[in-house]
Every structure is written in C-alpha cells, then in structure tokens.
Structure 1
Amino acid sequence: MGIVREINITNMNASEIPRLRLQNTGLSHSPFKSPSNAVSHLGAVQAQNFAAAKWALGLRVKNSTDEDIEKAFNEGTILRTHVMRPTWHFVVPEDIRWMLELTAPRVKALLAHYNRKLELDDALFARSNAEIARALQGHTYLTRQELKTVLTSIGIETDVQRLAHIIIWAELDGLICSGPRRGKQFTYALLEERAEKAKKLDREQALAKFALNYFTGHGPAQLKDFSWWSGLTVKDARDAFDLIKSELKQATFDGKTYWFPAHEEVTIPKSTSAFLLSIYDEYTLSYKDRSDISEARDIERMISMGNALTAVIILNGKVAGTWNKALKKSKVEIRLNPFRQLKEDEQEALGSEVIRYGKFVGIPAVLVK
C-alpha cells in the first residue's frame, strides 16, 4: 500500500531518485496487467537468467505467478533474443524488428573480433542462416542441440562457442528468436512466424521510441545511463535523447542531470519498502552510474562477481544486502545476508517479500538462518 503525493521538482532532492525509479520501473505498486505490458513499458528486460527474469516480471505484474510468465513466453506475447550489449532480453513482438535494426549493427561490431578468432565470416553466416531458416519453417521449433545437428549435417563445425555465435548472428539478423519451451529446454523459432505483427519504424522514429521507453521506464536517469543501457554509440544516444527531451523533466544534483517523465502523482509506500531482486533486474542493472542505489559501490562489486552472486536485497530503494534460495521438495528456503543489523520494520517487510516469492513460484517459501 502507498500514499499518493506530487513530487515538487523545485524542492526535489537526491533522495527522491530511488523512490521515483521504484515507481517508474513498476516495482513500487505492481501496475501492469500482463507480462507484455511490463516489457513494453520498460522497452526491454534483461533475461540471460531466465528464472530471475520471470521473477522480475512477476514483481511488476499484479498477482502474477511463475506459470503466468511462462505461459506468456510460450505463447510468444513476450520473446527472448540477443538485442543489446549483447545479452538476452525479453522484448514484445511488436518492437522486436525495429529494435534489432537499431541495435544489431552495434552488437555485431562488438562480436566481430570473436567471430574472426572463431573463423566465422559472412559467407558462413549466409549458409548457416539459410539452413536454420529451412529447418524452422512452418512453425517448427528446435533446441540448440537440434540446430547443431542441422548445421553439422551440411558440414559447418559447431563447437560450443561457434554454435553460440552462429545462433546469436541469426538473432541479430532478425531471422530467429525464442520459441516455446519444450519441458525445461529452450527452442528457437523463425521471427517472421513468431512476430507477424512486428512494427517497422524509420531510424528517427526508432531512436525516439527507444529513448522515451528508457526514460519513462527507468527515470530519473542520466544520458550516460541510457547510452550504456541501449548499447548505442554516444552520438546515437545523444541524437535519440534530443528527439524526446522536451517530453521529460530534469533535475540536477552534484553536477549530474537526471531526466524523467512528468508525473502528477507518485506512489510512495507508507512503510518500509523491501524487495528481493535479481542482480540483473532493470532496477539494479540499467544504469552506468549506480551510486544512487548503492553505498560504497557494493552493487558494482556484486555485478563483477557475475553468476556467483545473483540476488540483492533492496530497502527503501537502496541495496542493503544479498539473498539466496534453495529449492527443496516441498518448499523453497530463503536466506538473507543483510549488510547491517535490520530494524524490526525492515525484517517484517522482507518477511512479506519471502511469502510473496513463495506465492509466485507456487510452493511455500520459508526464511532460514
């Protein structure tokens, strides 16, 4: 529950930044009716850790469950592909084509060095793309190992790295994207069959939409945050920002200028706000400068650990520790590792989030020490 009040830009201070981000990223009040609504609002949702990405959407879609997010993914109302930086993201079918056309050249440039080392060139990609398209046509969904077999049959060598780059390239070319899961396995599908209503935008329209999605779904944020998140060149990020900055408000603190959507009302929790997030959540990862949510660069150290540390505690918008889970036969055990002694209200708020996680995954979640 929260109270509604207007943020006075004139009297705004830096402490408002996490509060506004909690609202704009959809965490403070779970405003979305479906996974596709949440992804569309945010523009894209980082999703290399599939389970964590589903939880990220579950926090934002009111009363949703893991099954709801899985269903949306399998039905194709949200898709998963390499579209930025490069890593997997959820995107909605309507946005996937124009977003790929905008971001793929930059991602390809980042991969070019590795492709040369792997002896992958345009001629090979043309062959692999053609064979992959042939194998997937007619709404056929194949796993990565099945695509490996397809490619091997025409004489293309596919060790782990080469196969990964061949598949990523097919994604960046707008040829393939995620198909429905087969049990726990991921499959690939032809993008033209999975996203028949994908929008086509000219470059200026795409730049403007990309920037507006970011600042609406992540603000307050700096221009360098958008440049990092998008993976665009500094010039392209600036051009995109210039197209939409008149639609945003701004505030400057300590020489940093932040941009965000104009709200008449802001929902601020009455009591301590607590969240159990993934380190890859859009709230934690979508900014080049993360100093507004983390003291002493704690979050930077955690991100540098990669998959060794995947979950963080957020209290009142700030990183306050880590958490981990262990799935047992009839329950999921949650262990909290706060950076400091928790107050009673903070303990209660986190206890509620543990229960919330259990409801999402469909089995009781219990707090253990």
Structure 2
Amino acid sequence: MLPSTTERKAADVVAPPGTIALSGSEALALRMTSLLLRPHPTAAAPTTVADVVEWFGAMQAQDLASGIWSLGVRLPGSTHVDVHAALERREALRTWPMRGTIHLVPARDARWLLELTGVRALAGAAKRREFLGLSEAEADRAADVLGGILAGGGRLTRTECVAALVAAGIDGAGQRGYHLLWYAAQRGVTCIAPNVGTEQTFALLDEWAPGQRQLDRDEALATLALRYFRSHGPTTRQDFAGWTGLTAADAKRGIAAAGAELTTVLVDGVEAVLHTPLLDAPRAVVDDVLTLPGFDEYLLGYKDRALMLDPEHKQAIIPGGNGVFQATVVVGGRVVGTWKRSLAKTRVTLTVKPLTDLGPARREQIEQALHRYADFLALPPRVSWSD
C-alpha cells in the first residue's frame, strides 16, 4: 500500500501507456533488492563501506550503533572493528545533509549535498536560534572559532569543541552547544569524524575529506534522485521529497534529470519510480530472516511504510511516535518483531519481542540472525524472548 487515493489524486500524474504494473508483493521483493538486503541482478555485491554508502548516497546515522550495523548487515562477514576502521580511512563520513538529521555520506560528496539539501535546514534555523537565545552572528562566530581551532588537521571531541567555544566567550550551555556544532557542520565548515572511544569527534570538512566534488544544481538533483531510487525503489516521488527535504518541484526535476536511468511503474495502481536495471531482479516472495537496526533505511527511507509494516504494529516500532525507532525482526520483507541489545564486557544479551505468531523453526532462524549480529560485535550472545 502506497499513498492514499486522495494523495494520489493531488500529487500523481497519469502513467503513460505501457507502464509496467507490479503487485505490492512484487514491489516489496524489488525494494529489498534495492536496499542491498538481497542479491542484485546487475550490481556487484558491495565489499567495502564506501561501496554501500555510495550506493545509497546517504544513510541514516543519527544513532551511531544503528548506522554501523546498517553497514555491517550489508557486508557479510564484517565486524564492528572493520567498519570503524573504514570510517577512520574516510570511506564515508557523518554530517547533517538532509532534514537536520545525521547521515553517512560518501566523503567527497558532503559539500554538494549540504549545498543542495542542507541549505533548507539552515533556512529554518532562525526560530531554533531564537528559542535558544542565539543570534546568527553568534552562530557564525562559533563556526569561525571551530574553524580556527581545528585547522591543521585538528580533531576534537564534542566536549572539547564546546569548551573551546566557551573559552572564546560563546555560551555553549544546554542545547546551545549542540546547535552551534550542528550549524558549523551545516555550513560545511566541519564534519563528524569517527568516535574516539564513546565520544563524538569533529574535524574540518575540507581537511578530513579534501577534493570535494562540485556539481551544478541539475547534476546534483539527478545524482540524488538516481541514488535514492536505486537504493529504495520502487517508491514514490513523495517518498523521495520526504527523504531529501526537497520541494515537490525539485524532486520532480531530479527524477526527470536522471533520464532513462529511472523508470516509472505502477504499484497496485499507484505511480512509483525505480532504477531501470532493477526490472531484471526476481520478484518472487523470499522467506529470508533479517535483524535490522532501528534507524535503518529499510523503514526510515520512506514516508509510507505500509509495504513493510502493518499499521497495527506502528506503535511497537515507534513508541509514542517520538521518532525513536526500535530495531526490527524482518521475515520476507515484513516486520514481525522487535529486538533490543544489552552490552556487557563479555557478552551481548539480545531480547526479541514478537509481533506475530512465530513457531519454533522461525524462532531458531531469528536467533541465528541475531548470532550474526553478536559475531559482528565479537561477543558471545545470549538470546531471550519477551512474549
């Protein structure tokens, strides 16, 4: 199920004659392939963090542990140490390119993404500054201070950055410090470097990832559209606009600029877009079992999640609708449960809460999938069930 009839009438155009029609189950099968959760017929399986992030263009990573497992689940055999080392090699970096939300992006693409989509978040920041008692001049000065103290290859923790702002006479108490760090990154002065221990660190964008690519606006829109539909399709133009924060007009312009790389299809009668080579992918139902992090593109990459998630389970996945997503157990592309982890030095405890009836054989498959996560952490697992 994609957008409602009312939304379709308001937003979708009549599909051209000869448009390929897909059922919801076929679309879900293709979507799982796009998301690199099943083998792709034309794209080589990714072998590096850079491969995965380049495929997506941007991946939700506001929760670092979720972001790292989003990479790990798409790189079979990898470990947490492997992924962290790849980020230290700058195969990707974290910043706030879209909707004021932290994403992993290809290192050399950070600046044009910020200029294309991040600028919309900057434009809306005045109200937040007013609430925090900050002026634009103070925010600009904070960005200059951070630019100065990080110059020459510097890398400081979040605490050290805020302390430097305070030493320069800028009030960084409460949420002010976070906002000023966000503002400097949003302007393209800084980026988020890999953690040192458990602490977030910051570096200068142009020093951490030199040689930033430059794209004109149409090329940037086309690139973003191609990457989104390549990694999420088939889905709607409305989902693309929601994911990027672009206007409806820019979303449509990006799709058009991508040309023959993208194809329009109908999913249960609703117009959707996919990466053209995906038409060669299998469309049969697959009975695979996955244990995905909460903040994964599998759910967060869409405004309409009905293909993957029963409406009656929404509250279990997003308790209170507060934007905090639970980690999911996925069978055949559909959410069937949630899971949580509890880390200790010598063990990881993994607790599963079913949302549907799961027999003994299915539970064993889910436990095996969770063992893969424990292997990723290099910790022995203890799995329990909360029925």
Within-5 A mapping of 1:188-207: 188-207=202-221
Partner of 1:366: 382
Q: Is the partner of 1:97 in helix, strand or coil?
A: helix
Pairing partner for 1:302 from 310, 313, 317:
317
In 2, Cα distance between the equivalents of 1:341 and 1:178?
42
Pairing partner for 2:54 from 10, 35, 40:
40
Shift of 1:29: 3.8
Pairing partner for 1:25 from 35, 43, 53:
35
Pairing partner for 2:290 from 265, 269, 275:
275
1:151-206: CA deviation from partner (whole Å, max 9, x where unpaired): 11221111121111111110111000022422221110000101112101011110
1:205-245: CA deviation from partner (whole Å, max 9, x where unpaired): 10110111000011111000000000112221121122125
- 5+ residue gaps, structure 2, are 1-18
Q: Is the partner of 2:308 in helix, strand or coil?
A: coil
Task: Specify whether residues 259 and 10 from structure 1 end up closer, same or farther in structure 2 by C-alpha distance, changes over 3 A only.
Answer: closer
Task: Specify whether residues 11 and 256 from structure 1 end up closer, same or farther in structure 2 by C-alpha distance, changes over 3 A only.
Answer: closer
Partner of 1:12: 22
2:252 alignment partner AA: R
Partner of 1:172: 186
Partner of 1:4: none
Within-5 A mapping of 1:69-148: 69-148=83-162
In 2, Cα distance between the equivalents of 1:42 and 1:83?
13
The two structures, once aligned, show a CA RMSD in angstroms of 2.1
1:137 alignment partner AA: A
The answer to whether structure 1 residue 231 and structure 2 residue 241 are counterparts is no
Instruction: Check whether the contact 1:272–1:349 (CA below 8 A) recurs between aligned residues.
Output: no
The answer to whether structure 1 residue 314 and structure 2 residue 324 are counterparts is no
Q: Is the partner of 2:22 in helix, strand or coil?
A: coil
Partner of 2:6: none
1:107-146: CA deviation from partner (whole Å, max 9, x where unpaired): 1123221112223233212211111111001111011111
Instruction: Check whether the contact 2:328–2:338 (CA below 8 A) recurs between aligned residues.
Output: yes
1:296-346: CA deviation from partner (whole Å, max 9, x where unpaired): 252366235447652111110011111112223422121211112213442
1:334 alignment partner AA: L
Q: Is the partner of 2:352 in helix, strand or coil?
A: strand
1:314 alignment partner AA: V
Partner of 1:6: none
Q: Is the partner of 2:287 in helix, strand or coil?
A: coil
The answer to whether structure 1 residue 284 and structure 2 residue 294 are counterparts is no
Q: Which runs of 4+ in 1 moved over 4 A?
A: 267-271, 306-309
1:260-291: CA deviation from partner (whole Å, max 9, x where unpaired): 11236425799621111122100111111111
Q: Is the partner of 2:195 in helix, strand or coil?
A: coil
When the two structures are aligned, how many residues end up with a matched partner? 361
Task: Specify whether residues 256 and 297 from structure 1 end up closer, same or farther in structure 2 by C-alpha distance, changes over 3 A only.
Answer: farther
In 1, Cα distance between the equivalents of 2:273 and 2:136?
40
Stretch of structure 1 that moved more, 102-111 or 220-229: 102-111
In 2, Cα distance between the equivalents of 1:270 and 1:360?
28
Task: Specify whether residues 280 and 297 from structure 1 end up closer, same or farther in structure 2 by C-alpha distance, changes over 3 A only.
Answer: farther
2:263 alignment partner AA: K
Pairing partner for 2:346 from 324, 330, 333:
330
In 1, Cα distance between the equivalents of 2:384 and 2:339?
11
Task: Specify whether residues 269 and 238 from structure 1 end up closer, same or farther in structure 2 by C-alpha distance, changes over 3 A only.
Answer: closer
Partner of 2:231: 217
The normalised TM-score by structure 1 is: 0.92
Partner of 1:258: 272
Shift of 1:10: 4.8
Partner of 2:12: none
The answer to whether structure 1 residue 293 and structure 2 residue 315 are counterparts is no
The normalised TM-score by structure 2 is: 0.88
Instruction: Check whether the contact 1:272–1:345 (CA below 8 A) recurs between aligned residues.
Output: no
1:194 alignment partner AA: W
In 2, Cα distance between the equivalents of 1:84 and 1:71?
25
Q: In percent, how many aligned pairs have the same letter? A: 32
2:167 alignment partner AA: S
